[in-house]
Structure formats: C-alpha cells, structure tokens
Structure 1
C-alpha cells in the first residue's frame, strides 16, 4: 500500500506539473494568436489580460493533472494485465473526452462568474465549439508527449533519461556503483518442464513481482538477460538502509505472497539466487541506432562471477567483502564467511560471504 501511494504521489506530481505547463503553453499561443480578436478578446471592447489567463491555467492544469494521474494509475495498476491494449486505449479515450468536457465547462463557468461575461456553456455546447475541439486535439498531442517521456523514463530508469537528454554520459564518467546479478534457480529444469511459451510467462511474472519493489529500494534495472536480471545502485543509495540487501529478501517475500498463484498456474515456485559487489567503474552512453548506458569495469564482471558460485556453495545471496564492510549490516541479518574464492578471469582471490535474514 505504501509503495502504491508513493508511486501515485510521484505520478501525480509529474502529471500536475506537466499539465500546468501544457496549459501555460496553450494560453501563450492563444493570447498571442493571429490578431487581437483571435488571441486576446472574448467580447467587444473587453480585453482579457494575460495574467487572468495564467490564473485560470493553474486550476485547469491542476484538474487535468489530477484526472490524468488517476486514470493512468488506475488502469496501469488494476486492469492493465486483464484487457488488450486496444480496449484500454478505448477506455482512456472515453474517460479523457468526458473529463475534458467537465474541465472546460467548469472553467467557462468560473470565467463567467469572475469577469461577469457570458460564455457558451449550455448543455451540449462543446459539440459545435471550435475552441473545444482544438483543445481536445492539443490535449491528445500533449498526452502523447507525456506518454513518450514516461515510457523513455521507464525504459532507461529513474533519472537516467534526464541525464542522457543533458548529455551527461556522452563522455565516459567514473562512478561508484553496486551491482546485483539475480538469477532463477533450476531454470533449465523448469524451462524443460514448462515449455518455451509457459516458461516465458513464468519469467514475465517473476520480473513483474521484481518491478513492484525496485523503486522502493532506489534500484535501477540495468538489463534483463533471459532468466537473469541485473540491478544497479549508485553506491550511497545502495548502502543506505541496506537497500541492496533488503531488496533481495523483499523480493523473496513478494514471490511468497503469490506462491499459490505460481503453483496453480505453473506447478513451480520460483527461487532466485544473487551475487553482490560494488566499486568504481566507467559509465558511458553507447550506440546510435539504439542508445543505452553501458557500465565498463571489473565490478560488473566480479558481481556476475560471485553469483555464479551460489549453486556450488548452496547459497541464495553472496556478497564480496569489499561491499559487506561499508554496509555494516545490523542484527536482522546473519553473515557467514565462505572464504577467498578464485573467480574465473580474476588473478586475485575475492573474499566472499553469505547473507541470510533472521
């Protein structure tokens, strides 16, 4: 519940901010329209100052932002996985059209009361109003922009898209980061039993549960590779409140909440194993046809190698000593030393520990 509230709060803030800005832009365009009568006057011998329009845009933008956030959040959280994309788009179209009629009608009533003027807002007024249909077109074009920004942000990760727009990673930058390689246990056996179609749905469900908690622990999904997910944190965010460790155990709890679902649909309950390591590496924007962030350095390779030792050591979570020391875990976790391991491709042995929750 807390996570849903946090997600909605973030969406609401972004939505209200965006729609107030969109209304501001529309009013600037309208006010400085073609000729004074087109842009500035709404009745003979009465010119509406632009400051009055700005006051109204706050109400209209806030209302649109609230409605937009409610619709997007409800459809994404409640019915997104139950209906086809086409049906969901149709629902959105109807809701937004009704919402626009209500918002514009309320705005005209407010305008009439405030400025003591008569505006067309009788029943069905919107059907023949050119201004209304221009506003509808503007709304849907703006919605496309908002959706593009949201999709881009989701694909690149929180904060990454903005940095790429600003060109922060055009040249390689050194960062201190934590990496977790999260891999499905007994994946080959499960894939053989389920078949490729059902197995794909199985993995999809697992990562859906993972995505429900990723933002809660300030993690970024770097890659999905088959049945493996690669997560990353900026070092301080990963250390803070043991985010990089707590996420793993919260993910296990999230899966356990849906154990009956997994058993009923797949006859298998997913178990994951993970390896953690942190340190300095280089971050750079790569590609031209398809851009993405790439992490170059020994940290990524070492985290993957540590995860690869989980089966051999019969462990679910392994962590390097280099990362364990700054974490300073509390008594809620049991840490046991495995010893110095000789990892593939590394000349120096890495001291590794297991972590379990009390």
Structure 2
C-alpha cells in the first residue's frame, strides 16, 4: 500500500510518476503505513471475527453485507481521519484560519484521502468475501481447492465422526417442522466452535446428523481430538441448557461413532460442485451409529481408533469393550468400544 500510494497520475503529461506524499522520507512514510493498518487491522479484525460474524450467522447474506460494509466504511473513515491528522496535517490544520474547513479539505476531500478510503474499502470487501469462503470451506480444504488437489480423485486416510440428535423423530413431532429446524440450527451452531477447536472439519450435514472429519496429523492424534471433540460439544450444549429448555422445552441429547480408514476424495458434480469422500469407512461408521442405541452408549469408537489414543490421553477416558460384532451389511467383524469421560475429568 505504501508503494501504491507513492504512484501518482499527472493529467498534464498523461503519465505516472513516483513521489512520496507530504514531502516525507519513504522510510517514515512506510513506518506510518505499517503502524496504521497493523493497529487498525487488529482492532477491526477482532471486532469483525469475534463480534460481527458471530452475531450475523443467522442473518441473510444481504444483511451480512450491509452491516459489514457500514462497519468497514465507518472504521476506515475514522482511521483515515486520525492517522493523517496525527502524522501529516496536524500543524497545518491547527494553524489554519478555519481549522474545520481545512480539516475537511485535507482529510475528506483530498484526492489522496479519497483514494486511501477506496483502497481500504476494496480490501475490506475482499476480507468479507474471504470470511464467507472460510465459513464454507476450512483453510486446508480451501488451499487444496486452489492448488487443484481435488480435480483428480485420490486416496487419503482420515478419521470420521458421525454425530446425530437422539430421538429426533419424537422431538420433530413434538415441536413441529419449523421449530425442529430452528432447534437443529441452534444445535449445529453451538457445536461449531468445539469442532474447530478440536481441529475438526465439518464434512456435511445430513438431516439431524453432522459428519466431522480429521486428517491424520500428529497434533490431531497426540491430543486425541477425535475423542475430546465429542465431550467439548457436550459441554457446549450443557452450557446452553437453560436456553434450550426455555426455547424448546428440552436439552438436546446426541450420540456419535468414530472410525478411521482410507477414502477416495475428489470434486463431484458440474453445476453445484462439492468435495466428496467415498469409501467403506463411511458405511462402517454409519452402521456403528446404530450400535449406540443397541449397546446403550453415547459414544462408540472402533478398535482402530482405540489403538490410536495416546497413553496419557487414554487415562482421561473409560473404554468399555463391546466385543467384536458383525455390522449390518458387512462381512468382516469390527471391534467396538464405548467411551465415557472419567468423573474426575468432568
């Protein structure tokens, strides 16, 4: 931005020339252009991500755009009034016969000031679109899309968790379709942060079920995020218990199954392209979900997942062997474990 601001168009010659504004040295001008955006970016980014995005999740896209545009415009305008006044025009404005008129001329109507506001508004717009893309795709998925890794299907090993709302049919009958949909929306929204904090990636929503996946990174395995994620979600829902009871007359209860294996991943579709995972592991995990009701377990993991849990993390959980059983539609038997968090860890 500092270099860009030093390029000026001369209508007389019809060409561009390079000059540092305000008769400053380029080093000082560069310093100002580092300090202003750094401080402003930290404040604006914090407000945007921690406040605005959270509050606008359930609003329409156009409302989201309008509020963020007004926020960016106001913030950029204030920043471009304060920084130039402090570093460039303070003495000139203070010593002017009509300080207010001089301030308006230099800080608002000056072509340099207008270009500065327009430049940062473009950056603000790109930031808003980037955040929407971030909500659609995780950073790793977005990077892979940009690099074209999904153009050709390839095999990867991942961990999958299938998690769904218990007794959803009876709840839907009790609440009706509209309120049940609102319940699911709140339910999935409240588990988003626990999933992200566990390095999980939301693969898809299927009715009252959510599918979460993890790559086999060292940090994921070391922290047993595929297990802790479930209990983080449980804690998040419990904290909102009063809200759910007041709004829906119930506290959501859910169950989950976790398994790992190789899947094929690639882009699917022409008009509405999606990144799709395909493989036997997905069918197996879905069948494991059925065992939660049969075995009266809220979280079931496969033998492969149990073997991945580090010893220091295993101490936090009670793993109950459920035996080796044949799952519906499968010829091979799969060893299953029920998982509970130890009371001292609650």
Same fold by TM-score, threshold 0.5 exceeded?
yes
Of the candidates 261, 274, 286, which is equivalent to residue 304 of structure 1?
286
Q: 1:321 is matched with which residue?
A: 303
Of the candidates 169, 172, 197, which is equivalent to residue 191 of structure 1?
172
Of the candidates 191, 205, 209, which is equivalent to residue 186 of structure 2?
205
Q: Within 1, Cα distance between the matches of 2:103 and 2:64?
A: 28
Instruction: Verify the 8 A CA contact 2:267 2:274 in the aligned structure 1.
Output: yes
Counterparts in 2 of 1:213-232, with a 5 A limit? Answer: 213-232=194-213
Q: 1:63 is matched with which residue?
A: 39
Instruction: Verify the 8 A CA contact 1:321 1:352 in the aligned structure 2.
Output: yes
Q: Within 1, Cα distance between the matches of 2:334 and 2:81?
A: 68
Q: 2:5 is matched with which residue?
A: 30
Of the candidates 111, 123, 138, which is equivalent to residue 103 of structure 2?
123
Q: Note the C-alpha offset of 1:287.
A: 3.1
2:240 is aligned with 1:258: yes
Secondary structure, aligned partner of 2:224: helix
Q: Note the C-alpha offset of 1:298.
A: 1.5
Instruction: Verify the 8 A CA contact 1:178 1:233 in the aligned structure 2.
Output: yes
Instruction: Verify the 8 A CA contact 1:30 1:39 in the aligned structure 2.
Output: no
Note the alpha carbon deviations across 1:57-88, whole angstroms, 9 max, x for none: 21122133123213303433664369877776
The number of residues matched between the two structures is 329
2:157 is aligned with 1:176: yes
Instruction: Verify the 8 A CA contact 1:63 1:103 in the aligned structure 2.
Output: no
Q: Within 2, Cα distance between the matches of 1:134 and 1:53?
A: 16
Q: 2:229 is matched with which residue?
A: 247
2:127 is aligned with 1:146: yes
Instruction: Verify the 8 A CA contact 2:266 2:277 in the aligned structure 1.
Output: yes
Of the candidates 347, 350, 353, which is equivalent to residue 331 of structure 2?
347
Secondary structure, aligned partner of 2:238: helix
Q: 1:287 is matched with which residue?
A: 269
Instruction: Verify the 8 A CA contact 1:222 1:231 in the aligned structure 2.
Output: yes
Q: Within 2, Cα distance between the matches of 1:245 and 1:150?
A: 28
Q: Note the C-alpha offset of 1:224.
A: 0.8
Instruction: Verify the 8 A CA contact 2:93 2:103 in the aligned structure 1.
Output: no
Could you tell me the TM-score, scaled by structure 1's length? 0.81
Note the alpha carbon deviations across 1:41-71, whole angstroms, 9 max, x for none: 546xx5x665554333211221331232133
Could you tell me the TM-score, scaled by structure 2's length? 0.84
Secondary structure, aligned partner of 2:331: coil
Going from structure 1 to structure 2, the CA distance change for 1:101 and 1:143 (only over 3 Å counts) comes to: closer
Instruction: Verify the 8 A CA contact 1:221 1:232 in the aligned structure 2.
Output: yes
Q: Note the C-alpha offset of 1:258.
A: 1.5
Q: Within 2, Cα distance between the matches of 1:209 and 1:68?
A: 24
Instruction: Verify the 8 A CA contact 2:80 2:116 in the aligned structure 1.
Output: no
Note the alpha carbon deviations across 1:87-121, whole angstroms, 9 max, x for none: 7666545543443333223432454389x999999
Aligned CA-pair RMSD: 3.0
Secondary structure, aligned partner of 1:337: strand
